[in-house]
Amino acid sequence: MKIMLEGRPGKVVQRGSTMITVMEINSPPKLPPELPDASEVMVQYVVYIPEKQWRRVEPALADPFDVLLVQGDCYFDAELKMLSVFALSVMTELTQRPKTA
């Protein structure tokens, strides 16, 4: 399953050439009124990010107003009992905006 996460990463740990963090998503997008209310649902994702991609976005995340944008493949990790996301693309909201002169 493909997934897009937007939020602030938690503590980041390096394991070999992979950076691992947990992201909590607790504010669902606006949903049609026909769907059940998910406003009180908080989901945690373990996110695996290639070190090379992480080093590109790490400086931008020093800005407390910037958020991490992760696109990747999502799987249920039975051992951790959490959803795991293997990042294919990582950027931040502020760095993806076009720069104006």
Closest CA to 49 of 93, 5, 97: 5
Whole-number Å distance between alpha carbons of 47 and 76: 12
Could you give the strand order of the β-sheet that contains 2-7, starting from the edge strand earlier in sequence? Answer: 2-7, 68-77, 82-92, 43-50, 18-25, 13-15
Q: What SS3 state is found at 81?
A: coil
Summarised one tens digit per residue, pLDDT across range 43-94 is 899 999 999 999 999 999 999 999 999 999 999 999 989 999 999 999 999 8
Give pTM, 2 decimals: 0.84
Q: What is the pLDDT of residue 101?
A: 47
Q: Is pLDDT of 99 > 50? A: yes
Instruction: Tell which residue, 2, 1, 24, 26, has the closest CA to residue 11.
Output: 24
Flag whether pLDDT at 97 surpasses 70. Answer: no
What pLDDT sits at residue 26? 64
Note the pLDDT tens digit of each residue in 7-39: 999 999 999 999 999 998 766 667 788 887 776
